[in-house]
Amino acid sequence: MAAIGSLHNDVIHDAVLDYYGKRLATCSSDKTIKIFEIDGDNHKLIETLQGHEGPVWQVSWAHPKFGVILASCSFDGKVLIWREDESTKNWSNIAQHATHTESVNCVQWSPPELGAVLVCGSSDGNVSVVEFNDDGNTSAVTIHAHSGAVYAAVWAVSGTVTKRFATGGSDGLIKIWTYDAASNNYVEEAVLEGHSDWVRDLAWAPSVLPKAYLASASEDKTVIIWTQEQSNAAWKKQVLKAPGGDKFPETVWRVSWSLSGNVLAVSCGDNKITLWKENLKGEWEECGSIDE
């Protein structure tokens, strides 16, 4: 287990391994992003990316078929795209998306089959979907997703690849959006009500089966697992039984699925991370944790 100590000089908000697990990207309130080379238990800082004018909230690695590319979003309202040059190995900022008027809280690359497409959510209530075409220009679509801030936007992962994503916001709602070719825009497919306070994070379980698993983390200290047997069926909800009752001790900030989609990591404001698995009876049980 490699512990990477004080690398940023402020709180870190996201830490993500790349596709092959060889590179780690971290981003922080010190407005920088750091890239590490990971080899077994040791790590080496290879680059510090500067450019954001505010704390950087989230980073997302693009699929390797597009090159070594990272997207980042920040309190400064911008989404920056960074690329490592194949030969010189130097990183540079190759594109910027700055249409939001408030903090951009989340950013995520789409499944590679859809191309190089980013979904970003902002405190101005809007979600923007930015497509980077091969000829270098970009096309962006903006959707007013939530009446308050948007804190989570995640692409759907299912057998058939469709332009579809879920968003969560400060109105406590989760909305599923599907691309409508006629209007060349995304339309609301479903609204999932279940949280009594902000939806902080969403995670769509990677799976090739038609059954979709969507986990949601909320300021109301609960995690809900939403399941849909097959597309346009109804969504069923199941509240995760937390260790001490049905609520976690603090705000639940993040949820993330393992690559095989059967283990859920829940990151709670009490600085503890717990791992959960569905048992044969369909209930979710804790199966591990990471202490401070």
Partner 1 sequence: MVKLKEIPRTATFAWSPGAQLPFIATGTVAGAVDADFSSKSVLELWDLNLVDKSTNGFQLSSPVVSVGTDARFHDLIWGAVNTSHPNGIIAGAQENGTLVLWDPDALTKDPNSSPLLSSTQHTGAIKSLDFNTVQANLLASAGSKGEILVWDLDKPGSPLTPGTASSRLDEVESVAWNSSVAHILATGGNTGFTSIWDLKNKREVLHLFYPGSGGGGRRGVSSVVWHPDNSTKLITASEDDNAPVILMWDLRNANAPEKILSGHDKGILSLSWCKRDGDLLLSSGKDNRTLLWNPQSGDVLGEFPIATNWTFETRWYDRNPELFATASFDGKISVQSIQNANKPDQVAAAPKPEGNDFWNAPSYVDTQQPTFSLKQPPRWLRRPVGASFGFGGKLVSLQLDKSQTPATKSTVKINRFVIEPKSASETEKFKE
Q: Which of residues 200-219 bind partner 1 (CB under 8 A)?
A: none
With respect to partner 1, which residue has the nearer C-beta, 54 or 115?
A: 54
Among residues 36, 35, 52, 33, which one has the least CA distance to residue 44?
36
> Pick from 19, 45, 85, 92: which binds partner 1 (CB under 8 A)?
19
With respect to partner 1, which residue has the nearer C-beta, 64 or 87?
A: 64
Stretch that binds partner 1, among 2-10, 129-137, 182-190, 278-286 (CB under 8 A): 2-10
What's the CA gap between 222 and 211, in Å, rounded? 22
Question: Hey, which residues does 263 pair with through a beta bridge?
Answer: 277
What's the CA gap between 168 and 171, in Å, rounded? 8
Stretch that binds partner 1, among 18-26, 85-93, 111-119, 176-184 (CB under 8 A): 18-26
3-class secondary-structure state, position 273: strand
Query: Could you tell me the two tokens for 244?
Result: 């001490």
Q: Does 123 bind partner 1 (CB under 8 A)?
A: yes
Cα separations (Å) of 145 from 3, 116, 142, 187? Answer: 38, 22, 9, 10
Q: Does 187 bind partner 1 (CB under 8 A)?
A: no
Stretch that binds partner 1, among 11-19, 83-91, 152-160, 230-238 (CB under 8 A): 11-19
Stretch that binds partner 1, among 4-12, 64-72, 108-116, 240-248 (CB under 8 A): 4-12
> Pick from 35, 75, 111, 176: which binds partner 1 (CB under 8 A)?
75
Q: How far is CA 276 from the centre of its chain?
A: 19
> Pick from 28, 72, 110, 216: which binds partner 1 (CB under 8 A)?
28
Q: How far is the CB of 108 from partner 1 (least distance, A)?
A: 12
Q: Does 103 bind partner 1 (CB under 8 A)?
A: yes
Q: Which of residues 226-255 bind partner 1 (CB under 8 A)?
A: 253-254
Name the strands in the sheet holding 126-132, side by side, starting at the edge strand that comes first in the sequence.
Answer: 104-109, 116-122, 126-132, 138-144
Q: How far is the CB of 87 from partner 1 (least distance, A)?
A: 25
Q: How many CA atoms lie within 13 A of 227 on its CB side?
A: 13
> How many Cβ atoms are within 10 Å of 244's Cβ, its own excluded?
8
> Pick from 92, 96, 133, 147: which binds partner 1 (CB under 8 A)?
147
